[in-house]
Amino acid sequence: MITLLLLIPLIGSLIILPMSYTLESKKTMKKIAITTSLINFYISLFLWYEFDTSTTQYQFVQELASLDQLNFCHLQFGIDGISLYFVLLTTFVTPIALLSNYTNINKDIKLFLIFFLVLETLQICAFVSLDLLLFYIFFESVLPLVFIIIVIFGHGKDRFRSALLFFLYTLAGSLPMLLSILSIYSYIGSTDFQLISLIDISLFSQKLLWLGFFIAFAVKTPLYPFIIWLPKAHSDSPLAGSILLAATILKLATYGYLRVLINFLPDATNFFSPLIQTIAIISLIYASFSTIIQQDTKRLIAYSSVAHMAVVVLGLFSNTLSGIEGAILFAIGHGFVSPALFICVGGVIYDRTGTRIINYIRGLVTYMPIFTIIFFVFTLCNTGIPLSLNFLGEQLSLIGIWQTNPIIAALGATSILLSACYSIFLYNRLSYGNLSPYLPPLKDINRREFILLISLLIPTVIFGILPNTILSCLHMSVSALLYSF
């Protein structure tokens, strides 16, 4: 079943590859790409349905190859309660990303569609790999594709510099992780997850290995001071690229914290927890105040992502069941709400006004009443309003860290106030007041945009009301993590 999940996007890419660039072929290519991604989503739903919640073991395990030339790398894939939801999030967001640029990307459309289908496979591979070296390979493999997407399909004169910053920051940050993986291989003779979990590593060695992994994950999260690449990458990326960056690519670091640092290096994680909590608080406050003063709408949502991911990090390193489960819920909720806000500001508003500068946009409710209602709902979800998944994730994360360090929890709770400040401030400036004289009469959202936003709103509300739908699969795997911790 996992093999199908990995191969179907690649099969779609191969079908699209030989097609010509005629008008009819372009429409067919788009339909093939979206159909392929939807089929993959249905397969992931079937995996979720068949998932056994009563065990901590990896399920649907498949070994794709056992070649003598690759004996240093165990080509084995499987899913547990933690990786399951990151796979579901990836397969859910990919068709939404493709549909978000359905009408406004026509140049090099074949390259665009193939890149996003391949990106889906690479991200799923990172989440289901059962080998540390394989995880690193797929963790890094998204970089060149996203770099090319920003350069070719992005907008803005500064897009090459933004793409280069993204590429260099994340590549340089991951080099210490590669050294840590090689050190583990030289010590154990394998990079297989299950073998590593059985080895007792000394505290001193754990600390050195932990620092190598943490730098890579901190850059990808991102945490202060490695955040400069994210707002630039978002502001110059096409809408589909921003959606994937916010929803899934940033979650590679969240998954890495859980799978590597907490799982394999528990003593070092416990030792460095105060340092991580301090860095997360600095990132939260810095990003929140930076968000309030932004004048570019996409850059503003990008900075808000940094603040939300800082709360996720607080929950992950709280050493409590509620904190870790809350962090995973918040990461999933962020994967729904942040792409929706990018669609609102970087899709609906930008496509109609041609600008992302807040001072030029005002009074949208005059011509776009339906859009402003949906925009308001997602703005409230971004602030963590009750009945949304973000609310549960944020509260559980803060409750978890409160049990460990009440002072850090009190500082982390400022995210509730600060997120309300910048979210409502943005909504009020764009939606109300006299209609901006720089804007022509605007059309309300069309059917495609409405479907995209509602598709993201439904799971945000349903899982916010029925969180046990997610938590039932998480309890066993997170409990096993805490036992090792």
- The average pLDDT across 128-152 equals 89
CA-to-CA dists, residue 371 to 16, 22, 73, 96, 459, angstroms: 34, 34, 50, 18, 19
> Is 485 inside any structural domain?
no
User: Which residue type does 302 have?
Assistant: A
**CB atoms < 10 A from the CB of 60, how many?**
18
What pLDDT, on a 0 to 100 scale, did the predictor assign at position 405? 86
Residue 74's Cα: distance from chain center in Å?
A: 26
> Is 440 inside any structural domain?
yes
Residue 460's Cα: distance from chain center in Å?
A: 15
Output b/e per residue, 298-334; b: 16+ Cβ within 10 A. bbbbbbbbbbbbbbbbbbbbbbbbbbbbbbbbbbbbb
Pick the more confident residue, 233 or 330. Answer: 330
Element spanning 177, H or E: helix 159-188
Rounded Cα distance between 401 and 275, Å, is: 14
75: tokens are 């080509």
pLDDT band at 479 (very low <50, low <70, confident <90, very high): confident
**CB atoms < 10 A from the CB of 66, how many?**
10
The DSSP-derived string for 388-439 is: SHHHHHHHHHHHHHHHH-HHHHHHHTHHHHHHHHHHHHHHHHHHSSSPPTTP
Say yes or no to pLDDT of 203 above 90. Answer: no
Residues found in the chain? 485
What pLDDT, on a 0 to 100 scale, did the predictor assign at position 453? 93
- The average pLDDT across 270-292 equals 91
Residue 296 φ then ψ, to 5°: -100, 125
Tell me the pLDDT of the chain averaged across its residues: 87
What pLDDT, on a 0 to 100 scale, did the predictor assign at position 334? 92
What pLDDT, on a 0 to 100 scale, did the predictor assign at position 65? 58
High-pLDDT (> 90) share of the chain, %: 27
> Is 327 inside any structural domain?
yes
Question: What total number of domains does the chain contain?
Answer: 1
> Is 99 inside any structural domain?
yes
What pLDDT, on a 0 to 100 scale, did the predictor assign at position 233? 84
**Considering only CA atoms, which of 9, 240, 246 is closest in space to residue 102?**
240
What is the pTM (predicted TM-score) of this model?
0.91
- The average pLDDT across 351-357 equals 84
pLDDT band at 68 (very low <50, low <70, confident <90, very high): very low
* Structural domain boundaries enclosing 167: 1-480
